[in-house]
Amino acid sequence: MDVNKVEILLIEDNMNDAELAIRAFKKGNINNTLVHLKDGAQALEFLYGTGKFEGRDTTNKPKVILLDLKMPKMDGLEVLTHIKAHELTKAIPVVVLTSSKEHPDIERAYSLGANSYIVKPVELDEFTKVVTDLGFYWLLKNQSPV
Amino acid sequence: MTNKIENQHFLKQEVKITTALKLSEEALEALDEANKEIAIKLSRAVKELSLQNEEINNRAAELILANKELAFQNDQKDKRAAELVIANLELAYQNEEKEKRAAELVIANKELSFQKGEKKKRAVELYDSNKEVDELEKRVKERTEDLESFSYSVSHDLRTPLRAINGYAQMLSEDYEAVLDAEGKRWLGEVRNNAKKMGVLIDDLLTFSRLGRKAIVKSKVDMNALAETVMSEINQSMTHHAEIRFNNLFPATGDFSLLKLVMTNLLYNAIKYSSKKEKPIIEISSVRKNGTLIYCVKDNGAGFDMQYAHKLFGVFQRLHSVEEFSGTGVGLAIVHRIINKHGGKVWAKGKEGEGADFFFSLACNEAEIVENNMFKLN
């Protein structure tokens, strides 16, 4: 994994969901460099070039961050708070991923500055479509601030 | 000589006659005078008499009237006397009743003072049981909240492994189809089918548990527009179709999104259970009855046996096998819960093989109050 090259940053503790998402990107012919990290603490170290990622070129920012809400240690909302509060990262679009549209944190996610909120569908076809749609939008259509 | 004497005698006679005549004339005159006087007196007397007669007649007439009046008054007196007799009898009766009442009152007072004592006892008991009820209500509320957050998190957390089961099964069928024989492919299909069913079940459970937490926001709802919207949404998602008839449905007062869920579930069921009929027809109607609005969704589908009608609205209760008609058994439980939350009732009538009528009622007195709050569709 070339940690300096990143276009999609996937922060997801569930390996199955991560694998399905990665496969969905491939299926949708979105071959942008994807970095998958398993928890919020790691994600922040990656973004700010600290700890395990000491020395990483932090000017190389992802075009989009896919952030799972439910994670051990530091959950998605905490990660989101950090990203949106930090000068270096606040302009990066963050797409929040969750298992249920009933999530009570949906409003908090938006008020913390989430750019989009995606419910992971149970059906793989739908999941693939959602992931490729959002990849297409944030990577190709959206005029990136970076 | 004789002559002379005779003459003399004659003369004397004449003087006598003349005198007599004169006398009689005078007497006659006097008589006449007297007669005149008598006539005047007589006429006066007659006049006086006739006056008196008239007076007597008048008095007689007055007497007749007075007699009549007297007779009438006597009559009235008799009547009054008779009435008085009756009134006296009545009074005597009432006095008797009064005495009876007084006796009864004494008994009633005794009873009352006894009841007062009982009331006090009951009040104490009521206070105790109210405390108990409050305690129970508090515990029920806590349990309900626990249950709701439990079913919410169960539903939520179940989706994650389900997504993996479904996802990997599909990946397997996509990437390793060539390796699998027909039986292997069928088994994989079963895995995916069941994962799909479980997904629907979880979604239904989520909807059901969310209803307990969601506050009702009431507004005036145009039920015709609502039925129209639901119909077009269902048409897009269902493979079966039916002729759906409705017109001039009364507007309802309720939570728009919840009433939409009610209509969606009822129409979805009606279409599903009439899908095996050659000409499925669904009718939506509404009536006003005793201050409530009653809506009915009627189909000519599979119907149901009325002896199981009480099971229709329970969670996970089904009257048909999944092979016969798909479903999770949550839809009508959702309908029941929503209408209950609105203070209304749900019920159904049906006959096996002939169709079913599903009814729900809503209070209609508020319909006019929130006129300005009319829900706008499109």
Instruction: List, for residues B175-200, the tens digit of each pLDDT value.
Output: 998 999 999 999 999 998 888 888 88
In terms of domains, do B227 and B291 share one?
yes
In terms of domains, do B208 and B237 share one?
no
Chain A residues in contact with B171 by the CB 8 A cut-off are 23, 124
Evaluate whether B318 touches B329 at the Cβ level (below 8 Å): yes
Q: Which of B179, B213, B247 is the last residue of a domain?
A: B213
Q: Which of B213, B242, B264 is the last residue of a domain?
A: B213
Contact residues, A window 36-95, toward B, CB-based 8 Å cutoff: none
Query: Residue B37 and residue B39: Cα distance in Å, rounded?
Result: 5
In terms of domains, do B320 and B372 share one?
yes
Contact B156 A103 (CB under 8 A): yes
Evaluate whether A10 touches A36 at the Cβ level (below 8 Å): yes
Interface residues of chain B, partner chain A, Cβ below 8 Å: 152, 155-157, 159-164, 166-168, 170-171, 195-196, 199, 202, 206, 210
Query: Which range of residues forms the domain containing residue B373?
Result: 216-378
Residue with tokens 């606040």: A90
DSSP state letter for A136 = I
Query: Residue B179 and residue A3: Cα distance in Å, rounded?
Result: 37
Confidence label for A100 from pLDDT (cuts 50, 70 and 90)? low
**Sign of torsion over alpha carbons B169, B174, B175, B181:** positive
In terms of domains, do B324 and B187 share one?
no
Residue B319: per-residue pLDDT: 77
Query: Residue B38 and residue B49: Cα distance in Å, rounded?
Result: 16
Please determine, for residue B68, whether its predicted confidence score (pLDDT) is greater than 80: yes
Q: What is the CATH number of the domain that holds B255?
A: 3.30.565.10
From edge to edge, which strands make up the β-sheet containing A34-37?
A34-37, A8-11, A64-68, A94-98, A116-119
| Encoded tokens for B10 | 């004659």
Please determine, for residue B234, whether its predicted confidence score (pLDDT) is greater than 70: yes
Please determine, for residue A145, whether its predicted confidence score (pLDDT) is greater than 70: no
Residue B172: per-residue pLDDT: 92
In terms of domains, do B209 and B222 share one?
no
Who among B164, B196, B206 is closest to A100 (CB)?
B206
Evaluate whether B271 touches B240 at the Cβ level (below 8 Å): yes
User: Domains of chain A by range and CATH?
Assistant: 8-139 (3.40.50.2300)
Residue B322 CB-density burial (10 A; 0-12 exposed, 13-18 middle, 19+ buried): exposed
Q: What is the mean pLDDT of residues B300-304?
A: 89
Which residue, A53, A48, A114, is CA-closest to A78?
Answer: A114
Evaluate whether B285 touches B246 at the Cβ level (below 8 Å): yes
* Separate counts of helices (H) and strands (E) for chain A: 5, 5
Evaluate whether B297 touches B267 at the Cβ level (below 8 Å): yes
With a pLDDT cut of 90, the percent of chain B lying above it is 44
Please determine, for residue A146, whether its predicted confidence score (pLDDT) is greater than 60: no
Q: What is the mean pLDDT of residues B304-314?
A: 84
Contact B167 A20 (CB under 8 A): yes
| Encoded tokens for A44 | 């922040």
Mutual angle of helices B331-341 and B256-273, in 10-degree steps: 150
Please determine, for residue B377, whether its predicted confidence score (pLDDT) is greater than 80: no
In terms of domains, do B278 and B368 share one?
yes
User: Can you give the C-alpha Rg of chain B in angstroms?
Assistant: 59
Residue with tokens 């998190």: B153
Chain A residues in contact with B173 by the CB 8 A cut-off are none
Q: Which of B150, B180, B213 is the last residue of a domain?
A: B213
In terms of domains, do B84 and B197 share one?
yes
Please determine, for residue B276, whether its predicted confidence score (pLDDT) is greater than 90: no
Secondary structure of A82-102 in HEC code, one letter for each residue: HHHHCCCCCCCCEEEEECCCC
Flag whether residue A121 sits within 8 Å of chain B, measured between CB atoms. Answer: yes
Mean pLDDT of chain A: 85
Mean pLDDT of chain B: 86
In terms of domains, do B148 and B282 share one?
no
| Encoded tokens for B371 | 């006129």
In terms of domains, do B40 and B166 share one?
yes
Beta strand A64-68 with A8-11 is parallel
**Sign of torsion over alpha carbons B219, B225, B231, B233:** negative
DSSP state letter for A9 = E
In terms of domains, do B144 and B256 share one?
no
Of all helices (H) and strands (E), which one includes residue B297?
Answer: strand B292-299
B241 vs A80 pLDDT, higher one:
A80
Contact A102 B167 (CB under 8 A): no
B237 vs B282 pLDDT, higher one:
B282
ipTM above 0.85, yes or no: no
Q: What is the mean pLDDT of residues A30-58?
A: 90
Which residues contact residue B246 at a Cβ distance below 8 angstroms, ignoring those fewer than 6 apart?
B224, B227, B283, B284, B285
Which residue, B203, B155, B171, is CA-closest to A128?
Answer: B171
How many structural domains is chain B composed of? 2
Query: Residue B230 and residue B203: Cα distance in Å, rounded?
Result: 19
Which residue, B257, B259, B264, is CA-closest to B330?
Answer: B264
Beta-carbon-side half-sphere exposure of residue B255 (alpha carbons within 13 Å): 18
Chain B residues in contact with A125 by the CB 8 A cut-off are 170
Looking at A105-114, B94-103, B106-115, which range is the least confident one? A105-114
Chain A residues in contact with B155 by the CB 8 A cut-off are 100, 102
In terms of domains, do B286 and B357 share one?
yes
Confidence label for B371 from pLDDT (cuts 50, 70 and 90)? very low
B152 vs A97 pLDDT, higher one:
A97
Contact B160 A99 (CB under 8 A): yes
Under the phi-then-psi rule, with left for phi > 0, alpha for psi from -120 to 50, and beta for the rest, what region is A116? beta
Q: What is the CATH number of the domain that holds B122?
A: 1.10.287.130
Q: What is the mean pLDDT of residues B253-278?
A: 90
Who among B167, B196, B210 is closest to A127 (CB)?
B167
Cross-strand partners of A10: A36, A66
B156 to chain A, closest Cα gap in Å: 6
In terms of domains, do B17 and B121 share one?
yes
